[in-house]
Chains A and B, each alone.
Chain A
Amino acid sequence: MDTLNESTRRELVESKRMDRRSAIKWMLTASATVPFLNTGSFGQSGPSIPTPQGYGSDPNLVIPESPPWERILNAEQLKTVTALSDVILPRTGNSPSASELKVPDFIDEWVSAPYPDQVGDREVILPGLKWINDESQKRFKKPFYNLSEAQQTKICDDICYLPKAKRRYKNAAEFFAKYRDLSMGGYYTTNEGAREVGYVGNVALARFDGPPPEVLKFLRVDKAPW
């Protein structure tokens, strides 16, 4: 197996465990609105039935269909999602904003999905969206999506980095970290996002020449080993 698979394996076993833990912590401390679903892990035995509303174990890979599950975000939540994604990844020069690359639609697809990882994330994201609007109302008497950039920044600065967040913002900071991860995931998996971050590829080549000379120089290596 290649090591991309290695990271997939690790994610399956370990980071999911972490996600689950933070989801549980969130449940215990925040005013959560979604019941926690104990969905179990992939590998364990027991009844094997297809995931309800999933795409199944044999979807069309060549022409993928739209995900079959129903979207759960309402109009109000989508407005918050759009505003927050654009605070995290705004338009800069020629580089598009998150909403221009339809990141909110991706977040909706993700938190609506029926699979264990996504259900776990939903349990962090939905209460988090509620919190950020409640906080906006508390501070500025408006929902988050109607705040000025400066007001949005004031809230985000308090929750953008978990290790430095004040105790009362710890849960919100966990939400923000997860939300930023998902926003980046949605953004950089688009063709535009991948290009912007410096991915070059997915084109047929006659030869594979290895890293070009400027890369070898960058690495301070005299020449390729073979």
Chain B
Amino acid sequence: MPHINAGKTKPEYDVIVVGSGAAGGQTAYTLAMDGAKVLMLEAGRDYDPVKETPMFQTRHQAPLRDSGTPEKPFGFYDATVDGGWKVPHEPYTNASEKSEEQFWWWRARMLGGRTNHWGRISLRNGEYDFKGKSRDGVGIDWPIGYSDVEPYYDKVESLIGVYGSNEGLENTPNSPEGVLQAPPKARASEIYTRKHAQKLGIPVIPIHRAVLSERLNSKKIPKRLHPNNPKAARILAQEMDQRLACFWATPCGRGCSIKANYQSTTVHIPPALASGNLDIITDAMAREVEIDATGKATGVNFIDKTTGLDYSVKGKIVALAASSCESARIMLNSKSALFPNGIANSSGKVGKYIMDTVGAGLGGQIPAWENMPPHNEDGAGGGHSYVPWWLYKEQLAGKLDFPRGYHIEMGGSRGTPRVGTFNGLEDYTGGSYGKQLKEDARRYYGSFMSYAGRGEMVPNDDCYLEIDDKVTDKWGIPVAKFHWKWSDYEIRQAAHMHKTFAELITEMGGTITDEVDTTGKKAILPGGLIIHEVGGTIMGANSKTSVCNEFSQTWDVKNLFITDGGPFCSNADKNPTLTIMALAWRSADYMMDEMKKGNI
């Protein structure tokens, strides 16, 4: 069984954390730095970004020039290994055969999980985002508000390093002075978009991303994060010194060997390991949470994928951080006389209210950009600018036919050419080939723009997972079966996205390269495609309507926690990872307090 930092498993741990991504990484970090003995179980293999990241490798060196395939959906060089919407030997099913009623479930079986490849967009939820139902009558309110999470946003941003700016816009919180790093300069396409978006009343501001635009201050930040814990501060300072600032090249999705961007494997796990309080077992596929006769969790049963053998490990607390849907699956598979419908599921809500982000995009060709002088705009390996949701007032006044907002991400295209960069160029060239085609390629390269809407989905009764009683994975574990249906809220929002992008492209003097969908039905991408899966074990004010309390502690089993996106009551347009980490930190603080008080 592959161990990291553990010759063999200890007889008992304070906390067993299932998962090693944003949630597992943050949970283990907080606990281990505070002195708890932690065992982390990861279903995939060990992974080291320092050794394994293809930093300057060119597309030319990769099979199919780095194009996406079912085995590497975001391209050969994408950091994800053993992952994607299909994972070998680990199927899932959908109840419906209709494509619009299917959920695409992305998993990454590797240490660090999905944090290795993610877009690093790190936006805070605002006050409205926790209390949507109180504001507009739909969805589910969180039992907590922005002020409860705010200090943890401050901590997480300080720890991982986030660039961005404070703009003071509605429901778009500022960070305290000195927490955010300087945002990189806007790219040409972003500047031009901003100039024209202003005329439509659409703001373009620096985006927030977990990428170091400068080195972290290892003298100040560790002491601020661990004020009464000099050992933790010293370890963190040493690890922070290992992280370099971005050198403005190579896409973040490949990972980062200089540790300039956030990955659980470069930011959370190294200091937690250095504390001596964290053991990790990789290739450990959790099967179920085990309980004793009193209904208390005793530990986790897992399968060592390298041998196929079963093991049980003991812990005073079990923290599931396996991803929203995987944690729900583990809970539903943890059946006992006390919990015949799955552990901590007396409410029947485990697996319910799964959410993704509403996604729709539209492209344009901008004549004003043709033959632009060549220049380097690789930048921070992701966006430098975005449009925050800007129509809160109109929405509240009932002027829009959908209840929640979206933000806009944008991609100009002076990036390194892909196989498909020039697909369909004949629409502009009239079918040129030969010498003329080469001139056309130079003319049109970099004149294309794409806008992507990322919007809030309102949780609904039609989106949930259950256990498929007919299908098991290679390890014999029953698989998740999904039910999915966008409501009119999301479909109308997608239509609004297309309308907005079309107006914007037209205002820029461009032509639209895709079909504008005024119904939203074709524009909206399938559920799960944005990989912002949250919900499934929602938190709430009571045990009848929710699975866990505001600290992500299950109502039914007080030493069982869910620290991934499962407890989310809503899925704001703000990408969920930063909030997952903030809530995991808050939950881990609570675990420490409860253990100290002897309550757990």
**Interface of A with B (CB < 8 Å)?**
1-13, 15, 42-51, 54-59, 61-62, 64, 66-67, 87-90, 92, 95, 106, 109-110, 113, 115-118, 153, 156, 160-162, 164, 177, 180-182, 184-186, 188-191, 193-194, 196-212, 214-216, 218-219, 221, 224-226
Is the pair B529, A182 in contact by a Cβ cutoff of 8 Å?
no
The answer to whether A224 and B185 touch (CB under 8 A), given A6-B409, A64-B76, is: yes
Given A12-B73, A160-B426, A188-B417; 10 other pairs, CB 8 A cutoff: A44-B102, A55-B72, A57-B72, A197-B445, A199-B414, A205-B247, A209-B185, A211-B188, A211-B191, A226-B165
The answer to whether A186 and B419 touch (CB under 8 A), given A13-B526, A164-B431, A224-B191, is: yes
Is the pair B416, A202 in contact by a Cβ cutoff of 8 Å?
yes
Shortest CB-to-CB span from B437 to chain A, Å, is: 6
Is the pair A204, B249 in contact by a Cβ cutoff of 8 Å?
yes
- Could you tell me the distance between the alpha carbons of A147 and B4 in the complex, rounded to whole angstroms? 64
- Could you tell me the distance between the alpha carbons of A106 and B77 in the complex, rounded to whole angstroms? 18
Is the pair A3, B445 in contact by a Cβ cutoff of 8 Å?
no
Which residues of B are found within 8 Å of A47, using beta-carbon distances?
91
Q: Tell me if B93 is interfacial: C-beta within 8 Å of chain A.
A: yes
Which residues of A are found within 8 Å of B206, using beta-carbon distances?
226
Which residues of B are found within 8 Å of A184, using beta-carbon distances?
421-422, 425, 437, 441
Is the pair A218, B57 in contact by a Cβ cutoff of 8 Å?
no
Shortest CB-to-CB span from A210 to chain B, Å, is: 3
Which chain B residues (203-231) contact chain A, with CB distance < 8 Å?
Answer: 204, 206
Is the pair A156, B186 in contact by a Cβ cutoff of 8 Å?
no
Is the pair B70, A115 in contact by a Cβ cutoff of 8 Å?
yes
Which chain A residue lies CB-closest to B63?
A: A67
Q: Tell me if B271 is interfacial: C-beta within 8 Å of chain A.
A: no
- Could you tell me the distance between the alpha carbons of A184 and B423 in the complex, rounded to whole angstroms? 8
Which chain B residues (529-565) contact chain A, with CB distance < 8 Å?
Answer: 529-531
Which residues of B are found within 8 Å of A209, using beta-carbon distances?
185
Name the 6 nearest CB pairs between A and B, nearest first.
Answer: A161-B431, A210-B185, A3-B411, A185-B419, A43-B104, A1-B119
Is the pair B58, A191 in contact by a Cβ cutoff of 8 Å?
yes
The answer to whether A221 and B195 touch (CB under 8 A), given A50-B88, A215-B188, A226-B186, is: yes
Shortest CB-to-CB span from B499 to chain A, Å, is: 18
Which residues of A are found within 8 Å of B252, using beta-carbon distances?
2
Which residues of A are found within 8 Å of B424, using beta-carbon distances?
177, 181
Which chain A residue lies CB-closest to B118?
A: A1
- Could you tell me the distance between the alpha carbons of A113 and B62 in the complex, rounded to whole angstroms? 13
Is the pair A59, B94 in contact by a Cβ cutoff of 8 Å?
no
Which residues of B are found within 8 Å of A161, using beta-carbon distances?
426, 430-431
Which residues of B are found within 8 Å of A109, using beta-carbon distances?
63-64
Shortest CB-to-CB span from A16 to chain B, Å, is: 10
The answer to whether A11 and B420 touch (CB under 8 A), given A1-B121, A42-B70, A88-B433, is: yes
Q: Tell me if B59 is interfacial: C-beta within 8 Å of chain A.
A: yes
Is the pair A48, B119 in contact by a Cβ cutoff of 8 Å?
no
Which chain B residue lies CB-closest to A10?
A: B361
Is the pair A3, B437 in contact by a Cβ cutoff of 8 Å?
no
Which chain B residues (376-391) contact chain A, with CB distance < 8 Å?
Answer: 376-383
Q: Tell me if B250 is interfacial: C-beta within 8 Å of chain A.
A: yes
Q: Tell me if B239 is interfacial: C-beta within 8 Å of chain A.
A: no
- Could you tell me the distance between the alpha carbons of A152 and B400 in the complex, rounded to whole angstroms? 57
Q: Tell me if B348 is interfacial: C-beta within 8 Å of chain A.
A: no
- Could you tell me the distance between the alpha carbons of A199 and B564 in the complex, rounded to whole angstroms? 40
Is the pair A215, B375 in contact by a Cβ cutoff of 8 Å?
yes
**Interface of B with A (CB < 8 Å)?**
45, 51-54, 56-77, 81-94, 99, 102, 104-105, 118-119, 121, 165, 183-188, 191-192, 194-195, 204, 206, 246-254, 359, 361, 363, 368-369, 372-383, 409-411, 414-426, 430-435, 437-438, 441-442, 445-446, 450-452, 482, 514, 525-526, 528-531, 575
Is the pair B377, A211 in contact by a Cβ cutoff of 8 Å?
yes
The answer to whether A199 and B64 touch (CB under 8 A), given A3-B409, A6-B361, is: no
Which residues of A are found within 8 Å of B526, using beta-carbon distances?
13, 43
Is the pair A11, B68 in contact by a Cβ cutoff of 8 Å?
yes
Which residues of A are found within 8 Å of B373, using beta-carbon distances?
212, 214-215, 218
Is the pair A201, B382 in contact by a Cβ cutoff of 8 Å?
no
- Could you tell me the distance between the alpha carbons of A13 and B380 in the complex, rounded to whole angstroms? 27
Is the pair B186, A43 in contact by a Cβ cutoff of 8 Å?
no
- Could you tell me the distance between the alpha carbons of A49 and B90 in the complex, rounded to whole angstroms? 9
Which residues of B are found within 8 Å of A185, using beta-carbon distances?
65, 417-423
Is the pair B92, A45 in contact by a Cβ cutoff of 8 Å?
yes
Which residues of B are found within 8 Å of A194, using beta-carbon distances?
58, 416-417
Is the pair B65, A199 in contact by a Cβ cutoff of 8 Å?
no
Is the pair A42, B380 in contact by a Cβ cutoff of 8 Å?
no
Which chain B residue lies CB-closest to A214?
A: B373
- Could you tell me the distance between the alpha carbons of A45 and B99 in the complex, rounded to whole angstroms? 11
Is the pair A45, B411 in contact by a Cβ cutoff of 8 Å?
no
Which residues of A are found within 8 Å of B118, using beta-carbon distances?
1
Is the pair A90, B434 in contact by a Cβ cutoff of 8 Å?
yes
Is the pair A61, B52 in contact by a Cβ cutoff of 8 Å?
yes
Which residues of A are found within 8 Å of B86, using beta-carbon distances?
42-43, 48
Is the pair A205, B249 in contact by a Cβ cutoff of 8 Å?
yes
- Could you tell me the distance between the alpha carbons of A9 and B454 in the complex, rounded to whole angstroms? 13
Is the pair B531, A1 in contact by a Cβ cutoff of 8 Å?
yes
Is the pair A8, B70 in contact by a Cβ cutoff of 8 Å?
no
Which residues of A are found within 8 Å of B75, using beta-carbon distances?
8
Is the pair A45, B91 in contact by a Cβ cutoff of 8 Å?
yes
Is the pair A202, B56 in contact by a Cβ cutoff of 8 Å?
yes
The answer to whether A15 and B529 touch (CB under 8 A), given A3-B409, A57-B81, A212-B375, is: no
Shortest CB-to-CB span from A64 to chain B, Å, is: 5
Is the pair B77, A61 in contact by a Cβ cutoff of 8 Å?
yes
- Could you tell me the distance between the alpha carbons of A55 and B238 in the complex, rounded to whole angstroms? 38
Is the pair B419, A87 in contact by a Cβ cutoff of 8 Å?
no
The answer to whether A201 and B119 touch (CB under 8 A), given A88-B437, A189-B60, is: no
Is the pair A48, B91 in contact by a Cβ cutoff of 8 Å?
yes
The answer to whether A180 and B411 touch (CB under 8 A), given A57-B84, A106-B65, A204-B247, is: no
- Could you tell me the distance between the alpha carbons of A46 and B70 in the complex, rounded to whole angstroms? 14
Which residues of B are found within 8 Å of A190, using beta-carbon distances?
60
Is the pair A45, B102 in contact by a Cβ cutoff of 8 Å?
yes
17 contacts between A and B (CB under 8 A): A2-B409, A5-B119, A10-B525, A13-B529, A43-B102, A54-B70, A87-B434, A110-B64, A160-B433, A180-B426, A197-B417, A197-B442, A198-B445, A199-B415, A211-B188, A219-B368, A225-B191
Is the pair B372, A218 in contact by a Cβ cutoff of 8 Å?
yes
Is the pair B441, A197 in contact by a Cβ cutoff of 8 Å?
yes
Is the pair B63, A8 in contact by a Cβ cutoff of 8 Å?
no
Is the pair B84, A9 in contact by a Cβ cutoff of 8 Å?
no
Which residues of A are found within 8 Å of B376, using beta-carbon distances?
200-201, 203, 205
Which residues of B are found within 8 Å of A160, using beta-carbon distances?
426, 431-433
Which residues of B are found within 8 Å of A164, using beta-carbon distances?
430-431
Partner of B93 from the list A8, A45, A197, A226 (CB cut-off 8 Å) is A45
Partner of B417 from the list A48, A57, A92, A193 (CB cut-off 8 Å) is A193
Which residues of B are found within 8 Å of A118, using beta-carbon distances?
64
- Could you tell me the distance between the alpha carbons of A88 and B514 in the complex, rounded to whole angstroms? 25
The answer to whether A211 and B187 touch (CB under 8 A), given A57-B72, A188-B421, A201-B378, is: yes
- Could you tell me the distance between the alpha carbons of A200 and B194 in the complex, rounded to whole angstroms? 23
Which chain A residue lies CB-closest to B95?
A: A45
Which residues of A are found within 8 Å of B417, using beta-carbon distances?
185, 188-189, 193-194, 197, 199
